[in-house]
Amino acid sequence: MSARGPAVLIILLFMLGIGLIAHRHLQYDVPLLPGDSQTVWLVEARIDFVAQGEPVRVDMARPTRQTALVPLQETGASPGYGLNFIDQPYSRAVWTIREADGPQTLFYRSEVLVSPTQGNEPVPAPQMKQPQWPTPYASAIDDLLQQAQKTSADNLSLTRELLKLFAAEQPQQHVVLLNNRYNDNLPQLLVDMLHSAKVPAAVVYALELQDGRRNQVLLPMLKVWQGGDSQLFFLPGQEPVVTEPGQLLVWNPDGRPLLDVMGAQHSAVRFSMIRQQESAYGALSMQLSGHYDLFNFSIHALPIEEQAVFKTILLLPIGALIVCILRILVGLRTSGTFMPVLIALAFMQTSLWTGLIGFILVVAAGLLVRSYLSSLNLLLVARITAVIISVIAIVGLFSVVAYKFGLTEGLKITLFPMIILSWTIERMSILWEEEGPREVMVQGGGSLLTAVLAYLAMSHPWVQHLTFNFLGLQFVVLALVLMIGSYSGYRLLELRRFREFAH
Amino acid sequence: MWRRWLGIKRSGILGMNGRNRHYIGRYNDRTLYPLVDNKLKTKELADSYGIPTPALLHTVSRQHEVNDWHHHVPAGQGFVIKPVKGSGGKGIVVIDHHDQQQFVKTSGTVLSLADLQRHISNTLSGLHSLGGTPDSAIIEQRVTAAEAVQAFAYEGLPDIRVIVCCGFPVMAMTRLPTHESDGKANLHQGAIGVGLDMASGRAISAVQHGALVDRHPDTALPLAQLSVPGWSDLLTFAATCFDMTGLGYLGVDLVIDEHRGPLLLELNARPGLAIQVANQTGLLPRLKAAEQRRREALRWSPRQRVELAQQLFAHSNNPSKPDDSSSSSLS
């Protein structure tokens, strides 16, 4: 490698990277900071079903304007199908085809803008039914409704009182009875009960908006009308994880069925979503133009499921850059070159402290098991396999113990990639035998420190915003890595190692 | 911090990044690594260049041979088990004497036959090899170092490390095992590094854990009295390893056997930097002086290169800065 080779390459990569970032910032108005922007959720529904060689009609509810959320642009992917978005009388997406056979997949995608000022759009109340129940359920229902009637003033307070009865920690006999009979269909039971009390209500389904989630299902909720207004209620045992307004997208605000499929079987719908930071103008211009030019390399054109994967993949170079800096410029010793990045990825699945404590506990316990296994005189491959199995057992044990102590955080350790833990344990124990515990502390500590720093960089919202929205940044990172790779001066820790030569 | 950086640079200290990029990266072709990473290949090659190595007693390369390897070891004598692709002394077991059932290490620890069988089996699985690839184990005659050096060591074999750049031996040290290093000659485990004068093979300075020491902590002998016998021959063997491997930046590990004189123990394509601390001087001026003559080196015999190196790098006259190393910047 000549001395000028990397310099030219570095400058070219820098210019390319900065150019792409500037172009994307200026041309598409994508903000450089995550702060001065609006949140747009890309939500994708994937409908799978098996057609039977007949005409197929798929009719799906579409989310409409609602509290704090505004659907901006809708698209559908459906090879060979006719697709219509119908707004009257209800908001539906309808796919139709004359003939289809075998497994089919349809996509519906909506860009939803988070707009806290947006109020609830009134939806007409549904028709009420007069349901009938067999004995003894009818009397139990009557009794419960009477109890709720007594302590309420209007439709909404009646609903609250009724839900309170169902959510009670020591439920009444009636509630237990109904729970057992209508366990699978509790939301519909509650709606029917409200209808029999002349309260307009419907089951609606809402999507919890969490960044990068895939294969999500909808959360059933209760919607109750009071005059022209309506209000949403969470069902007992079905509370959402998200709490902020604008993180719950109601898919069928009118309470009509979510999916209606004719001419096919085994239909199922799953949801993916991803959060984007766009300036208001950027979101608008994207909508208006919808065309991607050569310089606008964009992973936004990919299906959301892939985008969610890319969101993580694009962070890896940042973690690797941290490793380069710590190893080449600082001189930290780690076990394995990029194992710290993988550990950092694992930390991102748990939280930092859970991950750190879990990692240390599991590795320490694993080292004990490994030292016992090595006295059994096993062949190497068998021993590593035994270590993996033991690690799974240890992780299981820790999860159960943590849960018993009321620490649900402990459960997240199960998401830790087993192979990283087993590998670390095996490597650390070999190091222990050959170089002694001190070297294990040096390398293990170096790895964990690197992993924590990589985690902090990779989980920073600004870094996540930049890596996802500006692919040009990858070229800048590459240029930095090449620069660090061309550095042949002293490492920071070598200044300490060779300090006696400094005078 | 900046002043310290400049001070270290002025002393001509070679750093890890400089070593990796300017010496290993530039002069060591990776395709040549198997020659030094595989001890059997190194042995064969050394034989063809007339460089003696410790006598090979037996090779174990398959798991089923693990059960009868000890029949190939002469009764009573000491021997050494080494992984063929090991590095940095990993997986080496030194047996002082044995009766085919009880194997006594130099430290006095007794190992059973089963212990050693497991060790060899682990070695074959690649536990001690570079990158964990399947490996073989070799059993060598145990070397007893010449009294002049052995006397300074404790419970282990002292070896001599010579850095060879472009065919010129540039710096040397001997590594003395201590009780703390468990009989191993690895500096980071607590062995003592003694810098050696290139001209004479006499001790210059000694360090343990990076700090200067006068006496061996276990034997209490004054280290300044150490002097390696047969020094020029030893350097010539080291210089020949350049012709043998083609590696332009090389660490050569030798030992002075009581009876056979200098023997080649192993070669290292990534020798460490602690030799500078042991010698209390930086490598860079010497490396540059050697690099300047790398064309001549190809024509010269190892002997000629050693003679020049002994003149240039002699401790007494001019310890660290040969007159003709004019350039001071890395390029």
The pLDDT assigned to A37 comes to 66
* pLDDT, average across residues B93-106: 87
**Would you say A198 and A127 are in contact if contact means Cβ atoms under 8 Å apart?**
no
- Residue of chain A whose Cα is closest to the Cα of B126: A380
The pLDDT assigned to B330 comes to 34
Task: Reply yes or no on whether the pLDDT at A224 is more than 80.
Answer: yes
Residues B166 and B273 in one domain: yes
Residues B296 and B218 in one domain: yes
End residue of a domain, out of B98, B117, B141:
B141
Establish if B178 belongs to a structural domain.
Answer: yes
Residues B208 and B273 in one domain: yes
Residues B124 and B153 in one domain: no
Q: B34 in contact with A at a CB cutoff of 8 Å?
A: no
**Higher-confidence position of A406 and A141:** A141
What percentage of residues in chain B have a pLDDT greater than 90? 53
End residue of a domain, out of B123, B141, B159:
B141
Establish if B180 belongs to a structural domain.
Answer: yes
Using one digit for the tens of pLDDT, what is the confidence trace for B4-23? 899 999 999 999 999 999 99
* pLDDT, average across residues A220-240: 84
Residue B171 to residues B189, B213, B249: CA-CA distances in angstroms?
Answer: 21, 19, 12
CB nearest to A503's CB, from B7, B118, B127: B7
Distance between CA B96 and CA B55 in Å, rounded?
16
Domain that holds residue B84: 56-141
Using one digit for the tens of pLDDT, what is the confidence trace for A72-118? 778 887 778 888 888 877 888 999 998 888 888 888 988 888 877 77
Establish if B330 belongs to a structural domain.
Answer: no
**Higher-confidence position of B105 and A430:** B105
The CATH number for B305's domain is: 3.30.470.20
Confidence tier at B323 by pLDDT (50, 70, 90): very low
Q: For residue B55, give the amino acid letter.
A: A
Q: Are the Cβ atoms of A497 and B189 closer than 8 angstroms? A: no
Establish if B331 belongs to a structural domain.
Answer: no
Indicate the SS3 state at residue A408: helix
Task: Reply yes or no on whether the pLDDT at B322 is more than 60.
Answer: no
Chain A CB contacts of B1 below 8 Å: 495
| The two three-digit tokens of residue B273, written as one number | 């930097």
Confidence tier at A281 by pLDDT (50, 70, 90): very low
CB nearest to A380's CB, from B11, B126, B276: B126
Establish if B328 belongs to a structural domain.
Answer: no
What percentage of residues in chain B have a pLDDT greater than 70? 95
Distance between CA B207 and CA B187 in Å, rounded?
9
φ and ψ at A78, to 5 degrees? -160, 85
CB nearest to B15's CB, from A380, A494, A500: A494
**Would you say A41 and A87 are in contact if contact means Cβ atoms under 8 Å apart?**
no
- Mean pLDDT (chain B) is 88
Confidence tier at B319 by pLDDT (50, 70, 90): very low
Rounded (5°) CA angle A425-A431-A434: 140
* pLDDT, average across residues A460-471: 87
CB nearest to B4's CB, from A377, A486, A502: A502
End-to-end CA distance of chain B: 24
Confidence tier at B278 by pLDDT (50, 70, 90): very high
Residues B135 and B151 in one domain: no
Query: Which of A374, A378, A497, A499 best tests the B interface by mutation, with the highest count of B CBs <10 A?
Result: A497
Residues B83 and B171 in one domain: no
**Higher-confidence position of A322 and B78:** A322
Q: Are the Cβ atoms of A490 and B9 closer than 8 angstroms? A: yes
Residues B172 and B212 in one domain: yes
**Higher-confidence position of B131 and A13:** A13
Residues B170 and B280 in one domain: yes
What percentage of residues in chain A have a pLDDT greater than 90? 15
Shortest Cα distance, chain B CAs vs residue A301, angstroms: 41
Residues B168 and B237 in one domain: yes
> What is the DSSP-derived secondary structure letter of residue B54?
P
Confidence tier at B29 by pLDDT (50, 70, 90): very high
Residues B76 and B182 in one domain: no
Confidence tier at A415 by pLDDT (50, 70, 90): low
Q: Are the Cβ atoms of A489 and B5 closer than 8 angstroms? A: yes
Helix H or strand E encompassing B82 = strand B79-83
Establish if B324 belongs to a structural domain.
Answer: no
Residues B160 and B265 in one domain: yes
Residues B134 and B260 in one domain: no
Q: B21 in contact with A at a CB cutoff of 8 Å?
A: yes
Establish if B300 belongs to a structural domain.
Answer: yes
Shortest Cα distance, chain A CAs vs residue B256, angstroms: 26
Q: B213 in contact with A at a CB cutoff of 8 Å?
A: no
End residue of a domain, out of B141, B168, B192:
B141
Task: Reply yes or no on whether the pLDDT at A414 is more than 60.
Answer: no
Using one digit for the tens of pLDDT, what is the confidence trace for B109-142? 899 998 899 899 989 988 888 777 889 999 999 8
Establish if B157 belongs to a structural domain.
Answer: yes
Chain A CB contacts of B8 below 8 Å: 490, 494-495, 498-499, 501-502
ipTM, 2 decimals? 0.81
Indicate the SS3 state at residue A402: helix
The pLDDT assigned to B318 comes to 43
Task: Reply yes or no on whether the pLDDT at B307 is more than 90.
Answer: yes
Q: How many domains does chain B have?
A: 2
Using one digit for the tens of pLDDT, what is the confidence trace for A478-503? 999 999 999 989 999 999 889 888 87
